[in-house]
Amino acid sequence: MTTTPCFHVDAFAHAAFGGNPAAVCLLEAPRPARWMQAVAAEMNLAETAFVSPRRGGFSLRWFTPAVEVALCGHATLASAAVLWAERVVPASRALRFHTRSGVLTCRRAGDTIELDFPQQVARTCAAPAGLAKALGASPRWVGRNRDDYLVELASARAVRSLRPDLAALARYPVRGVIVTARSSTKGFDFVSRFFGPRVGVPEDPVTGSAHCALGPFWAERLGRTTLRGWQASPRGGAVEVEVAGERALLRGRAVVVTRGELLV
């Protein structure tokens, strides 16, 4: 029987049962996309990552329960944590992941993992029809990048209190909607939430890739290149983001919660 090591990891979390859970499957060789999608649906987490060795590092693909995505921060963080925890790679060595978004590198500094991602700058655009009604809030600013809408609201309280119409949000032809405002809590620069019902993720607990848009957005407005964000989902989680040229350096912690095997 062929088995596949599989792990449950809480990413962007200081302790178990916080942050954003991801599954990580360590493959000996690439598997068909249909099989990976079926596994992701079975795991039923926001993302399942599939890691396989290749020349110059590892191949990395990410699947929600419904679709494959081009970029995922928390499942990349989780994958790095597993490779180091399982001693597949020494903790002192940086990791190179070959992905649909190019080569992504991860480095470890103590308990913190740094992800080197491409920025996903959102450009100002007209609000799509019905967006305010779908969110249940009036946007102060709306932008869009390759994957998502980015919406600024008037206050952190407005972001935290959102109860959007997820069926309405799922009609927009984007991966998801990032909602943000300046933080009212000491120690954080901004708050955010992420809704992706179109891709099978009603609300994502902590979305690393969203911070590739949030970082440059708030860096321009606050005049600083290093910022701390709090994703105000029910689980919640902290992400430090540094804008460095055309890259976004995301920093956070991860906790491996379970270790097991897939038997199919």
Q: List helix spans (H) across the chain.
A: 33-43, 73-85, 131-135, 156-160, 166-169, 211-222
Strands 68-69 and 57-63: antiparallel
Local structure of 256: helix, strand or coil: strand
- Residues 49 and 43: beta-carbon distance below 8 Å: no
Q: Using CA atoms, how far apart are residues 253 and 240, in angstroms rounded to an integer?
A: 10
Half-sphere exposure of 256 (CA within 13 A, CB side): 17
For 74, phi then psi, to 5°, come to: -70, -35
Q: Distance between CA atoms of 63 and 199, rounded to whole angstroms?
A: 9
CA 234 to mean position of chain CA atoms: 16
Nearest to 229, CA basis, from 9, 12, 10, 11 = 12
Q: Are 25 and 51 in contact (CB under 8 A)?
A: yes
Amino acid identity for residue 11 in this structure? A
Q: Which residues are catalytic?
A: 47
Question: Does residue 222 contact residue 129 with C-beta atoms inside 8 Å?
Answer: no
